[in-house]
Amino acid sequence: MMTRSSHRRISSLLVATVAAALALTGLSTSPAMAQGADQVVNGSFDSGTAPWWWTGNSPAAVADGQLCATVPAGTVNPWDAIIGQNDIPLISGESYALTFTASATAQVSVRANVQLADPPFTPEISQAVLLGPEPQQLSFTFTSQTDTQTGQVAFQIGGAAESWSFCIDDVSLIGGVAPPVYQPDTGPRVRVNQVGYLPDGPKRATLVSEGPQPLPWQLRDAAGAVVATGMTTPRGMDAASGQSVHTIDFSAHTAAGSGYTLSADGETSFPFDIAGDIYRQLRSDALQFFYIQRSGIAIDGALVGQQYARPAGHLGVAPNQGDTDVPCQPGLCDYRLDVRGGWYDAGDHGKYVVNGGIATAQLLGAFERTKTAPTATPGALEDSTLRVPERGNGVPDVLDEARWELEFMLRMQVPAGRLLAGMVHHKMHDAMWTGLPLQPQADPQPRELHPVSTAATLNLAAVAAQAARLFAPYDAAFAAQSLAAARTAFAAAKAHPAMFASDADGTGGGAYGDADVSDEFYWAATELYLTTGEQAFLAELTSSPHHTADVFAPSGFSWPSMAALARLDLATVPSGLPAADRQRVRASVVAGADAYLATLRAEAYGLPMPGDADFYFWGGNSNILNNVVVLATAYDLTGNVAYREGALEGVDYIFGRNALNHSYVTGYGEASSQNQHTRIYSHQLDPNLPNPPPGSISGGANAGLQDPIAERLLTGCAPQFCYIDDIESYSTNEVAINWNSALSWVASFLADQGRAEATAPASCQVRYSIAGEWPGGFLTVVTLVNRGSQALDGWHLAWSFTGAQRVTQMWNAVAAQSGARVTATNAEWNRRIPPGQSVVLGFLGTTWGANPAPELLTVDGAVCSALSGE
């Protein structure tokens, strides 16, 4: 590989030869004629490969500051292998200078073209260039004969009998005029949640208007009839959007229907629905994303649609190098690991433990919420509820999906007997960056294990511990394996507490450095305690500074900051945490929700994130959703409808109530993201490939503008305008598993809120008392009191255990247990409980690990309150 300094040298002989040739054709090697803007984006490749593309037979990557490609042997025509850039604007009559530096590992001839990007590919210039190992700097000028916004710079590098490597750098096309200022199509000035609103939920919209006075609004049904009217509330200038806005509140209208529109100031919104089931499909779609992102398994089109079917990726089938026998980076270790499986993390083919950790935890948490939340829908995430190949195996589908990633994480653990045994490799991915589009099964790059890190090790400890308690009722062997790995990982992290991933390790995949792992220690200790109940882990978590700190930052939580997720689990999962401490933990969640609620009410677009540019960052949509998670959890804990309303309104921004009038979730809303940055679903670059599947969320507005497309088109944007639905804008429009996991948790909560029976008042009280415990077993007495005005004539008392508990014998009722869920049905002699009367039942059980009393008990679906006293 040539050095960056050597490839700057010029061959005067070749330039002179080209100049003589051009003199005969009327072209010039001098750029003096051309003045103006550079029409090429990222011609120095300092920002990676975007927006450059190449044919699949010549995959390219940035190496030593150049874009280099290996050209296969046996191509016939120059255009059989191409590297290019599209969307090049040209103006008829304007002069342009095409300049570049190029080299080849063999003496070859290539063609440098500026042409139309579509048939008939009419060239403005098509110049043959002889290349060799010495880098050549070349420049050609021409006068455009065409007006177009769809020009193309293309280097045609096919036609050689033998394989060779091509490198290019410092590509520019100077001339014409500066590209026009990008103006997004924001549609009507009335911005709504384009998916819709729940009948009993808040219904607010935003009107963009300079008018300082209230303005009339009208709500119309699908037939155009006005069904509600009112006046807007002026909000003045909104810092996040740079717009003068008003709020429209039509919450008083509760009639269900489809095709509603909202009109004000001469503008009419996109249509939306009012219905209790508007989010039901989203729960399934958001979780389906993970199956389609799976590595190491063929994706079944019969489950998810034939457009998403593909062969298994990275199993060693050519051209894949495979994930079944992966070495470390050179000099890092003396072993190889089978690290197949898992999910492709984002738009590339890499797999990262810290991203997989939070994503898996949120899928597990969505399931665990069904055990603890009064409004959760029983059975919503059980077996055969999702489109996964494991459906029908007796295990909840969401656990099957989480297991696919967890098994990959387990394989990333350093084996016993090796140096740093028990630690976990931070990530594994291609040795070099690949371009778009590229299907996983076609990825030719070698794969590498990167160094172990304390953060990755603690991610495995936390997630494996959580999985152990949730899998215990369904797969005792896997639960035991997970818990053993969690214990080993936690001990290894304690022995190596400061092995940090390097921020400089960003070739071929993201770096994901994290130099503060105190929050991961807190998280891992929390999950180990909730699963085992062991005092050693209780001491670890209560001694952490995070245990009493405010962990709910305004910017939300994500993979580098996991203390908030630990706090949420401590607040919701039953445990033996001392009562006063448990109450303080729950109060801290409510305080965090109060802060997010205050932010939401202050923001004119109604989202729980401050409006300063610093709060619009890479992947910020997931942080917004994680703030919604805190609001939703506060509602689960307290039943205070203000938090439910905050959670419901907080997602309006995601689904279109924003400055761009754009839904960030594919397939949800009139104007939704379609071209997220991903090598797999690259329809924008290859019409034969699909768009991302419905339910895929993009990263969202990012004032940092860390990709060439965003920098070129969005410089100077107000924070909410710093987004473009373009596949090359990876800093605003990528997909990621840890963003879809936040959407999945929230979608499951939202789907539950459409159940009218979920808010039915309690008509029963229950006292669940563990009367005795011994190794492997326990005795429980349960008292059920009828607090309603009518007799209970036949009853079913239900709860879910936290882990491995199983009922072995019950008296005064008939027990049925499926997984963690127990239903106690009345006996013949106590089927009728008059108002104010009670029945007592008891049972023997077996277990391992923690055995707290369940806190959510229901009678015939109605949530019972706790009966105090001994």
Catalytic residues: 348, 677, 725, 734
User: If phi over 0 gives left and psi between -120 and 50 gives alpha, with beta otherwise, what is residue 668?
Assistant: beta
CB atoms within 10 A of CB 579: 8
> Distance between CA 152 and CA 863 in Å, rounded?
64
Determine the residue type at 423.
M
> Distance between CA 863 and CA 762 in Å, rounded?
6
What phi and psi, each to the nearest 5 degrees, are found at residue 49? -100, -20
- What is the per-residue burial (b if ≥16 Cβ within 10 Å, else e) of 318-334? eebbbbbebbbeeeebe
Q: What is the DSSP string of 289-343?
A: HHHHTBSSS-B-HHHH-GGG-BPPPSSS-TT---SSSEEBSTTS-S-EE----SB
- Rounded to the nearest 10 degrees, how much is the dihedral formed by the CA atoms of 151, 177, 435, 53? 20
How many alpha carbons lie under 13 Å from residue 317 in its C-beta half-sphere?
Answer: 11
- What is the per-residue burial (b if ≥16 Cβ within 10 Å, else e) of 636-652? bbeeeeebbbbbbbbbb
> Distance between CA 334 and CA 342 in Å, rounded?
23
**What sign results for the dihedral spanned by CA atoms 803, 807, 813, 818?**
positive
Determine the residue type at 490.
F
Instruction: Please list, in sequence order, all residues whose beta carbon lies within 8 angstroms of the beta carbon of residue 863, skipping any fewer than 6 positions away.
Output: 374, 760, 762, 856, 857
- Selection from 244, 214, 243 nearest residue 230 by Cα: 214
> Distance between CA 86 and CA 154 in Å, rounded?
8
DSSP state of 628: H
> Distance between CA 348 and CA 343 in Å, rounded?
11
- Selection from 360, 361, 341 nearest residue 351 by Cα: 341
Determine the residue type at 421.
A
